[in-house]
Amino acid sequence: MIKVSVMYPAGEGSTFDMDYYCNKHIPMVLAVTGPACKKAEAESGLSGGAPGVAAPYMALGHLYFDSMDDFAASFVPHMAEITADIPNYTNITPAIQISQITL
């Protein structure tokens, strides 16, 4: 299984609408990827590695697929539509990482 992590770094002037993200953006992504996307998660950053330390990310989103091929076949054809929605919930340019789940 692979995990696609979309990470929104925290920073001065950064904005993120978690309600829009969870109720409009993620459902749209799930609709276009269909059954290939096994699960989606959304997180709000609370803290860094110690109490009182600011969270390095304002928000994180995770999508799970059985394989890179499933991700490529279901997500990539809709990438323009998915990325065009980003300004509706944030002014942050996200960082993306695709990981192999090993445990």
pLDDT of residue 18: 98
Tally of residues, the chain:
103
pLDDT digits (tens, 9 = 90+) for 42-97: 999 999 999 899 999 999 999 999 999 999 999 999 999 999 999 999 999 999 99
**Domain tally, the chain:** 1
CA distances from 68 to 3, 7, 39, 76 (A): 9, 19, 15, 11
Q: Distance (Å, rounded) from C-alpha 26 to C-alpha 23?
A: 7
pLDDT-derived band of residue 2, with 50, 70 and 90 as boundaries? very high
Q: Containing H/E element for 68?
A: helix 68-74
Domain limits at 14?
A: 2-100
Q: Kindly report the CATH number assigned to the domain that includes residue 29.
A: 3.30.70.100
Residue burial 33-72, b: 16+ Cβ < 10 Å; e: rest: beebbeebeebebeeeeeeeeebebbbbbbbbbeeeebbe
